Amino acid sequence: MFEKVLIANRGEIALRVIRSCRERGLRTVAVHSEIDADALHTRLADEAICIGPAEAARSYLHIPAIIAAAEITGADAVHPGYGFLSENPEFAETCAQCDLVFIGPTPEQMRQWGDKVSARALAKSLGLPILEGTELLTDVDDAVKKAESLGFPVLLKASGGGGGKGMQVLRSAEDVQASFETARAECLAAFGNDALYFERFLERPRHIEFQILGDKYGNIQVLGERECSIQRRHQKVLEEAPSVALTDQQRTDMSETIRRAMSKAGYLSAGTLEFLVDDRGELTFLEMNPRIQVEHPVTELIMGVDLVAEQIRIAEGEALEVRDQPLAPRGHAIECRINAEDPDTFAPSPGVITELHMAGGTGVRIDSGIYGGGRVPPHYDPLVAKIIVHAPTRAQAIAKMQRALSETIIGGIRTNIALHQRILQHPAFEEGRISTRFLDDLRG
């Protein structure tokens, strides 16, 4: 059993981990940059250590400073949250070398799934359905040849990163020639890796992901799926669970396929397998994220499982609490990501929170790292809160979310609450007729 856990992150996910640790009787250590000295996660943890200036590369991404903080405070384990170092195998290895337990998958698994071309090959070998694509592209001439062989349009993607960096839809050989080197330079700057590949481009797919947990005894639990099709520039905006696009038989069949595949792979801890769904309803593997996801609360609410607590239990060497039987979703959950940004232009809106009232009531959950008088700095992701609701039906969940958004007040900064209200009121969303192009269509 651990006694003290250091959280190598900030904001709402740091608070989320602190809460699960507290409920398990564990003490917590928060790390923070200089600008985050008064952040809520530093105030609610048992201890807080400054690890550097505001720039993430010199604080939240600075491995020596985080390891030093763990050693100074006598932490037993490190939880990375999501983003920052959560998928960095060198960080996990450094933790092990310093007798710290990394609460997550093994470094080898991070490497296996972190490179998207390798992940596609691994997923195919494990029996998962794969979207047509190519191997790594060597140069622009090779790219043109492989794009023509695959068939236009194609999606150019980074093998060693995500978040839409370097990703482009190319509809002709001329597009490939014009975009290839620019995309390669962007990926090198963002990830230190300029490797690119093609996937077949789907015009209006749905984006659906399955949550898994695995322990060191070979048990794999699949905890249903999440609908993540509402996106802007490949960044998720609103998520819900379960998806209205899947039949019960599809859900059962894919869950069993995933369980067999990840059991064969020996996967450890929490992870998410992402899929695209074409207009025929067929699911094809997109990528695997070996960490906790931003949208994990919708799964927690419909499945009744504390995913962070399960991560901790698995890292402590315990077996999964629920195993050997499928879990059925109960009701419907929706999550709205509240960002500090203009709802129309999406321009960032950092500043001081001058007024704050968060929604409440039955079936409403708020995961947030802000407070009245607190500062939203310009240096990090604009996510300031997640509003999550749970109700017996999807229609009731939509109504509950509309009510929750209407009573949420965040003063001093602009937020995207108005965008969420437009999404929820749109007939296509209400009817479940959505795709990854939904926001493009909404904006005309």
Please identify which of the residues 206, 251, 259, 291 carries the catalytic annotation: 291
Residue 243 tokens read as: 């998806």
Catalytic-residue membership of 204 = no
Residue 395 CB neighbour total at 10 angstroms? 11
Full-model pTM: 0.95
Inter-residue contact 129 to 283 (CB < 8 Å): yes
Residue 127 CB neighbour total at 10 angstroms? 11
How far is the C-alpha of 4 from the C-alpha of 208, rounded, in Å?
Answer: 35
Name which of 264, 291, 261, 269 is nearest 214 in CA terms. Answer: 269
The pLDDT of residue 161: 77
How far is the C-alpha of 156 from the C-alpha of 199, rounded, in Å?
Answer: 7
Domains, the chain, ranges and CATH?
4-103 (3.40.50.20), 132-200 (3.30.1490.20), 206-442 (3.30.470.20)
Residue 301 tokens read as: 């609410």
Amino acid, single-letter form, for residue 392: P
Virtual torsion, Cα 187, 191, 196, 201, nearest 10 deg: -80
User: Please, what is the average pLDDT of the chain?
Assistant: 96
Report residues of the chain scoring pLDDT below 70. Answer: 323-325, 444
How far is the C-alpha of 219 from the C-alpha of 381, rounded, in Å?
Answer: 34
The pLDDT of residue 381: 95
Q: Residue holding tokens 């959505």? A: 434
The pLDDT of residue 321: 82
Residue 168 tokens read as: 């482009």
Name which of 354, 337, 314 is nearest 415 in CA terms. Answer: 337
The pLDDT of residue 233: 86
